[in-house]
Amino acid sequence: MEISTLSIQAKFVLGRAQSGDYIDWAVNELAKGWDSKNLRILAGLEKASSPFEAEAYFLKARTELLLPEFTKDEAIRVYALHLAQQIILSEGNFETLVGMISELCYSNGYPKYLMVWYDLNDGLCDKRSGDYPYACEALYKTDSKSVVDAIAREFISREINNGEWPHIPLRMDSNVTLKLAAQVIKNLELKCRVKAVDANVSDWSPIIFQPVESHYEGKGFGPMPGKEIEWIDIDPVVVRWRGRLVPDLKKDKKQMLIAALSGQKIVFEDFGEFIRVNAVASNR
């Protein structure tokens, strides 16, 4: 099972992450192209490592990767969605997963959006005991897994439409967004171009870096203050020249790029041939 950046952060805030969770997350992030000193150390730990040791490296890696922190309310919502996704994917016993979301509900003040899971868990308990499921009558004479799957899908759809997943309230300033975007571009070895406020769009550059804090430079543009950058376009196709008699080698990394940006909660637009990161929109 893939441990996403959102879910591992939620489990950390709620005190539910185990050593294996941190390690699986680190391995997955390296596979997606992210890299840092402590991310590599974390990925190399044994699953039997101390949870305190794994958590310490996770916190260091989180700082290196500039990951925004979650509030407890954000973590509760993300973890509930993570468990609901596990139900749909049949990753674990569905009744156990329902019980975990129900516990998340009653141990955190019964938030209204989680009450459906509290009632569902009561209904499942009644049905197992041979009683009528008053708390969730849909379970009566109906396959329990089908009912649970339907509730999980509706729950995920409703939360996504509410704008809470995966872009849980953004608290990143534009400079952090640009740092993250620049790191994605570097890790995936992609080209980019930038548009500064009151300036023309730059040529495509194979690199973007920070010569000094809060300034950005590439081949043909900069150094320029991050606060003056309106957006960055990223070309997801890597072209390798192999010689005059051999066609260029092309590799489309669009899905990797979208996954990397989404995992870091970066606002972007898909224009087909390129992806645009709006520094201004990311600060809303």
What token pair was written down for 109?
Answer: 């003040």
Alpha carbons 143 and 173: distance in angstroms, whole number: 48
Whether 263 and 32 have beta carbons less than 8 Å apart is answered as: yes
Whether 57 and 211 have beta carbons less than 8 Å apart is answered as: no
User: Which domains occur in the chain, in start order?
Assistant: 5-64 (no CATH), 72-161 (no CATH), 174-283 (3.30.1240)
Q: Convert the pLDDT of each residue in 192-211 to its tens digit.
A: 999 988 788 999 999 999 89
The pLDDT score that the predictor gives to residue 246 is 81
Q: Cis (ω within 30 of 0) for the bond into 68? A: no
Average predicted confidence (pLDDT) for the chain: 85
What integer is the mean pLDDT of 251-261? Answer: 88
What integer is the mean pLDDT of 235-258? Answer: 86
Position 132: which residue type?
Y
Q: Convert the pLDDT of each residue in 65-107 to its tens digit.
A: 877 778 899 899 989 988 998 888 776 799 999 999 999 999 9
Bridging pattern class, strands 221-225 and 215-218: antiparallel
The pLDDT score that the predictor gives to residue 195 is 92
The pLDDT score that the predictor gives to residue 164 is 47
Higher pLDDT, 123 or 213: 123
What integer is the mean pLDDT of 242-265? Answer: 83
Alpha carbons 125 and 35: distance in angstroms, whole number: 45
Alpha carbons 86 and 74: distance in angstroms, whole number: 19
Q: Convert the pLDDT of each residue in 136-184 to its tens digit.
A: 999 998 889 999 999 998 898 787 666 544 444 333 445 667 888 898 8
Whether 78 and 89 have beta carbons less than 8 Å apart is answered as: no
Q: What is the CA radius of gyration of the chain?
A: 22
